[in-house]
A and B are shown apart, each in its own frame.
Chain A
Amino acid sequence: MTNLSIEMGGAGKATSRLRRGRMPLGVVLAGLILAFMAVCAVAPGFVAPYDPYAPDLLASLKPPSTAHIFGTDQLGRDIFSRVVHGASYSLYIGLCATALAVAAGILIGLSAGVAGGFIDLALMRVIDVLLAFPGLLMSMAVVAFLGTGVTNILIAIAIASIPGYARIVRAQVMVVRTSGYVEAARVLGQPPMRTLLRHILPNTVGPLIVLSTLGIGSAILQSAALSYLGLGPKAPTPEWGLMLSEGQGYLRRGWWVGIFPGVFATATIISTTVLGRYIKALTDGRA
Chain B
Amino acid sequence: MALLDVRDLAIRFVGRSHDEDVQAVRGLSFSLDAGECVAIVGESGSGKSATARALVGLAGDNALVEGSVSLGGRELLKLSQRDWLGVRGRNIGFVLQDALVSLDPLRTIGREVAETIERHRLLPRGEIKGRVVELLTQVGMSDAESRLGAYAHQLSGGLRQRALIASALSGDPGLLIADEPTTALDVVVQAQILKLLNGMKQAGKALLLISHDLAVVAELADRIIVMKDGVAVESGTPQQIFSNPQNAYTRALLAAIPSARTRGLSLVTGTGEEANKSVSIVPQLPVLEVSEAVRIFGKRAAVDDVSLTVVAGETLGIVGASGSGKTTLARLIMGLEAPDTGSVTLKGADWSSLHERQRRPLRHLVQLVSQDPMSAFDPRFTVERILDEALEARGFERSGWPERRLALLKSVGLSETHLSRRARQLSGGQRQRVAIARALAMEPEILVCDEPVSALDVSTQAQVLDLLLDLKRRLGLTIVFVSHDLGVVQHVSDRVVVMNEGRIVEEGAVEEVLASPRHDYTRALLAAQPRLPEGVAG
> Interface of A with B (CB < 8 Å)?
1-4, 6-7, 11, 14-15, 18-21, 179-181, 183-191, 198-199, 202-203, 206, 287
How far apart sit A206 and B12, CA to CA, in the bound complex (Å)?
34
Chain B contacts for A188, CB-based, 8 A? 363-364, 389-390, 393-394, 438, 442
A-B pairs with CB below 8 Å: how many?
A: 94
How far apart sit A1 and B83, CA to CA, in the bound complex (Å)?
14
Which B45-99 residues sit within 8 Å CB-CB of chain A?
57, 59, 61-66, 77-78, 80-81
List the A residue with the shortest CB-CB distance to B79: A4
Chain B contacts for A199, CB-based, 8 A? 378
How far apart sit A14 and B389, CA to CA, in the bound complex (Å)?
48
Chain A contacts for B61, CB-based, 8 A? 1-2, 18
* Interface assignment of B300: CB less than 8 Å from any CB of chain A: no
> Interface of B with A (CB < 8 Å)?
12, 14-17, 21, 57, 59, 61-66, 77-78, 80-81, 334, 336, 360-364, 366-368, 370, 372, 375-381, 389-390, 393-394, 438, 442
Chain B contacts for A189, CB-based, 8 A? 360-364, 393, 442
Interchain CB contact (< 8 A) of A187 among B66, B368, B377? B368
Chain B contacts for A21, CB-based, 8 A? 16
Interchain CB contact (< 8 A) of B63 among A4, A184, A203? A4
Query: A1-B61, A179-B375, A203-B379 given as contacts; is B389 within 8 A of A186 (CB)?
Result: no
Chain A contacts for B394, CB-based, 8 A? 188
Whether B367 contacts A20 by the Cβ 8 Å rule is no
Chain B contacts for A206, CB-based, 8 A? 380
Query: A7-B78, A19-B16, A188-B390 given as contacts; is B364 within 8 A of A180 (CB)?
Result: no
Chain B contacts for A14, CB-based, 8 A? 64
Whether B376 contacts A181 by the Cβ 8 Å rule is yes
List the A residue with the shortest CB-CB distance to B439: A187
- Most chain B C-beta atoms within 10 Å of own C-beta, residue among A14, A18, A191: A18
Whether A183 contacts B336 by the Cβ 8 Å rule is yes
Q: Name 18 interchain pairs, CB-CB below 8 A, sorted by A.
A: A4-B63, A4-B77, A6-B66, A6-B77, A11-B64, A15-B21, A18-B62, A18-B63, A19-B17, A20-B15, A180-B375, A180-B376, A180-B377, A187-B336, A188-B390, A188-B393, A191-B360, A198-B389
Interchain CB contact (< 8 A) of A181 among B15, B17, B361, B378? B378
Chain A contacts for B63, CB-based, 8 A? 4, 18
Say how far B11's CB is from chain A's closest CB, in angstroms.
10
Chain B contacts for A183, CB-based, 8 A? 336, 376
Chain A contacts for B362, CB-based, 8 A? 189
How far apart sit A137 and B375, CA to CA, in the bound complex (Å)?
42
How far apart sit A181 and B77, CA to CA, in the bound complex (Å)?
44
Whether A181 contacts B336 by the Cβ 8 Å rule is no
Whether A4 contacts B363 by the Cβ 8 Å rule is no
Interchain CB contact (< 8 A) of B375 among A1, A3, A7, A181? A181
How far apart sit A65 and B362, CA to CA, in the bound complex (Å)?
80
Say how far A282's CB is from chain B's closest CB, in angstroms.
14
Say how far B56's CB is from chain A's closest CB, in angstroms.
12
How far apart sit A105 and B246, CA to CA, in the bound complex (Å)?
64
Say how far A175's CB is from chain B's closest CB, in angstroms.
11
Interchain CB contact (< 8 A) of A185 among B17, B62, B80, B389? B389
Chain B contacts for A179, CB-based, 8 A? 375
Whether B370 contacts A180 by the Cβ 8 Å rule is yes
Whether B16 contacts A190 by the Cβ 8 Å rule is no
Say how far B377's CB is from chain A's closest CB, in angstroms.
6
How far apart sit A2 and B370, CA to CA, in the bound complex (Å)?
40
How far apart sit A180 and B336, CA to CA, in the bound complex (Å)?
12
How far apart sit A206 and B63, CA to CA, in the bound complex (Å)?
32
How far apart sit A16 and B368, CA to CA, in the bound complex (Å)?
47
Chain A contacts for B361, CB-based, 8 A? 189
How far apart sit A15 and B369, CA to CA, in the bound complex (Å)?
43
List the B residue with the shortest CB-CB distance to A185: B389
How far apart sit A191 and B17, CA to CA, in the bound complex (Å)?
46
How far apart sit A19 and B61, CA to CA, in the bound complex (Å)?
9
Chain A contacts for B370, CB-based, 8 A? 180, 184
Whether B65 contacts A6 by the Cβ 8 Å rule is yes
Interchain CB contact (< 8 A) of B377 among A4, A184, A191? A184
Chain A contacts for B14, CB-based, 8 A? 15, 18-20
Chain A contacts for B81, CB-based, 8 A? 1, 3
Chain A contacts for B381, CB-based, 8 A? 181
Say how far B331's CB is from chain A's closest CB, in angstroms.
9
Whether A287 contacts B64 by the Cβ 8 Å rule is no
Whether B380 contacts A203 by the Cβ 8 Å rule is yes
Whether A6 contacts B389 by the Cβ 8 Å rule is no
Chain B contacts for A18, CB-based, 8 A? 14, 61-64
How far apart sit A15 and B375, CA to CA, in the bound complex (Å)?
35
Chain A contacts for B363, CB-based, 8 A? 186-189
How far apart sit A14 and B63, CA to CA, in the bound complex (Å)?
10
Whether A19 contacts B389 by the Cβ 8 Å rule is no
How far apart sit A287 and B438, CA to CA, in the bound complex (Å)?
23
Say how far A280's CB is from chain B's closest CB, in angstroms.
16
How far apart sit A184 and B385, CA to CA, in the bound complex (Å)?
13
Query: A6-B77, A186-B336, A188-B442 given as contacts; is B372 within 8 A of A20 (CB)?
Result: no
Say how far A7's CB is from chain B's closest CB, in angstroms.
6
How far apart sit A268 and B380, CA to CA, in the bound complex (Å)?
32
How far apart sit A1 and B393, CA to CA, in the bound complex (Å)?
50
List the A residue with the shortest CB-CB distance to B435: A184
How far apart sit A61 and B379, CA to CA, in the bound complex (Å)?
59
